[in-house]
Amino acid sequence: MAQEEKNDRQATLCLIKPDAVKAGNAFTIRQRIEKEGFNVAIMRKETLTKEKAETFYQEHKERSFFNDLVTFMTSGPIYMLKLVKPNAIKDWRSLMGPTDSAKAKQENAQCIRALYGTDVQQNAVHGSDSEASAKRELDVMFPDLVGLKAGFLSPRDYMKRALEMMKDVYSEVHAINVDGWEEKTIENTKKELTDKNIKVVAGYSQKDAFHHILFNEFLGYPVPSRKAFLYCMNKYLMRTIEKDAFWYDFVDPINEDFATICAKIKEYPFMLKNTSLSLGRGIFSISDEKKLKVVLEDYKADKALQDSIAYQMGVFSKGLEKKDIPNLPPFISEHKVDINSTIEYCYEGFVTPDGKLIHYALTEEVYFKNHSALGYLTPPMSLPKDKVKLIQDWVEGYMSGYIKLGYINQFFNLELWLSDKDEVFLTEINPRAAHSFHYNYLYSFGTRLYEDNMELARGADVTAISEYNPWTLWLGNYSFSYTLIVLITVKETGKLTDILDWDYVNQLETKDNILIRYNRQKGDTLVENDMTSAGCMILQMWIVGETAKALIGKETEIRSKIYKNPQSGNDYPAYWKV
């Protein structure tokens, strides 16, 4: 698990030199670094210019080897890493080993230079030798980060650890809390950014996706087009981008009569959903025309829901010419997926400013036998790697439509179905980085989604992010751990103190150092209105296992101890066995 504590943390520079990069050892070296307890705050890939190399090695300018050293260091790409941990400088130099690789092999056969170096010059890695050197060298290698202030849009309580870690990269990180899209609110926030000299912002939850675009556009960065964003935020429009989609059609209860709507329905049962991605209300499984009529009549009487859908679509359409605004129906009818023959995955990717799609990560949604959610698992456990290309090809085809609409310089998250017939279907697209999966990627692979999102937004070089991420590491057979977001739901009403063992919850959080997100609080009392078909979500917690067996064992132990009363329906799938 990547280090997260902020106590007495020290920064140093690591360079993975051209010889190690050319030999294909860079990623293995980084993973060894992380295994030894270092936190990689940021990594960049660059081929040094002669001027930058000379500036970096200026203390050796009068030495006989200076010109050869500059020539070597500019001969190919290097990776530049900012390493953070207590005693980072001393510990990194110890892990590197002696400057002469031959001497390193004699004195410490397991140090980096012994394993991957050749001689005194081609010795795989560089490290700062003092705090003063570390500061100077980091400033030379990451000049754009010197004094850079960043804004984190509306952080939630469980994000505090990550917010602290982000300060390893940026000089200051400010929480920017924004509520709504009213013009006055947006202008006040722009003023706040200016007054605090904040140069980049990033949002991670769905409600912050539009703010992410508005404020980074204000700060001068390329952002997705309004049309591309609108197509993301409307469940009907996002379906029109999909090639070979299953059956779907729009439904407009205000402007279509019931007979017209019924004539368009091709199958029962089907799903009927309000088309606003941001609204959780208005999602129904329709079994027959009688149920359909009841739902549509309820909608026609629900002025608040109508106004909410219209308001959001109006906000996201603002600035578009009338000819560019497509039909925005309030509902979509679509095929109801057989969840007995499909598995849902959460795909994470981003599009560069020049329109290149980058695969970033894949997470599996794990369900109990009754189809209630067990958790979110990174990387997938039940997906054979020869099936990954099905998802990859589908994503590339689907996102080509969004790139044509102007979706650039932004992360996105796709929820997908993969059927037992190897068919891939869209569940929905979210135009932002998936905030809760940051910890999955951090714990499993040592990568940092929050910082990667920030770097992409501000136009930094993302070559290293494109090459070294959860997707490439998993498929490249590098080492990783399994991380699961355990979903603790309750299916009974009453006081939560009578349902969950809160002493055990406290032990998990304080003694076992498990990150917990509180969806509900210890003192809450649940009533019938809190219940969905899956119950009520109370907690989310991140657990890690070096192996699938270890992870499953930890999850089953937690679930067996956390409930005072056993919850019905928690029967595990066949592969979820210790």
Interior/surface letters 236-275, b for 16+ CB within 10 angstroms, e for the rest: bbbbebbeeebebbbbebeebeeeebeeebeeeebebbbb
Residues 395-401, mean pLDDT to the nearest whole number: 98
Q: Reply yes or no on whether 126 is catalytic.
A: yes
Are 447 and 468 in contact by the 8 Å Cβ rule? The answer is: yes
Q: How confident is the model at residue 578 (pLDDT cuts 50, 70, 90)?
A: low
Strand (E) or helix (H) holding 195: helix 183-195
80-84, 264-268, 316-320: least confidently modelled range: 316-320
The pLDDT score that the predictor gives to residue 399 is: 98
Look at strands 10-16 and 482-490 and give their pairing: unpaired
Given a cut of 80, whether residue 282 has pLDDT beyond it is: no
> Per-residue pLDDT tens for 114-165?
999 999 999 999 999 999 999 999 999 999 999 999 999 999 888 988 999 9
Which one is catalytic: 60, 126, 371, 435? 126
**Per-residue confidence at 497, pLDDT binned at 50, 70, 90?**
very high
Q: Where is pLDDT greater, at 9 or 175?
A: 175
Strand pairing report for 357-367 and 482-490: unpaired
Amino acid at 451: E
> Looking at residue 5, what is its pLDDT?
44
**Given this model, what pLDDT does residue 534 score?**
77
Residue 2: is its pLDDT beyond 70? no
Which pLDDT score is estimated for 540?
Answer: 97
Reference 217, options 410, 400, 351; nearest CA is: 410
- Percent above pLDDT 70 for the chain: 98
* Beta strand pairing call for 373-378 and 149-153: unpaired
- What is the pLDDT at residue 319? 86
Contact predicate 556/578, CB 8 Å: yes
Percent of the chain surpassing pLDDT 90 = 81
Specify whether the CB–CB gap between 99 and 107 falls below 8 A. no
Predicted pLDDT of residue 3: 42
Relative to beta strand 172-176, strand 149-153 is parallel
What gap in Å lies between CA 285 and CA 143, rounded to an integer?
55
Quote the pLDDT of residue 6: 45
> What is the per-residue burial (b if ≥16 Cβ within 10 Å, else e) of 358-379?
bbbbbbbbbbbeeebbbbbbbb
Q: How many Å apart are CA 176 and CA 194, to the nearest integer? A: 12
Per-residue pLDDT band for 1 (boundaries 50, 70, 90) equals: very low
Going from the N-terminus, what domains does the chain have, and what CATH number goes with each?
10-142 (3.30.70.141), 149-228 (3.40.50), 247-335 (3.30.1490)
Does residue 427 surpass a pLDDT of 80? yes
Could you tell me how far CA 558 lies from the centroid of its own chain? Answer: 25
Would you say 352 and 408 are in contact if contact means Cβ atoms under 8 Å apart? yes
Average pLDDT of the chain is: 94
pLDDT tier at 382, thresholds 50, 70, 90: confident
The model's pLDDT over 163-192, given as tens digits with 9 standing for 90+, comes to 999 999 999 999 999 998 899 999 999 999
Structural element, H or E, at residue 162: helix 160-166
As a dihedral over the C-alpha atoms of residue 85, residue 86, residue 91, residue 93, rounded to 10 degrees, the angle is 70
Instruction: Indicate the pTM of the whole model.
Output: 0.94
Closest to 391 in 3D by CA, of 347, 351, 429, 427: 347
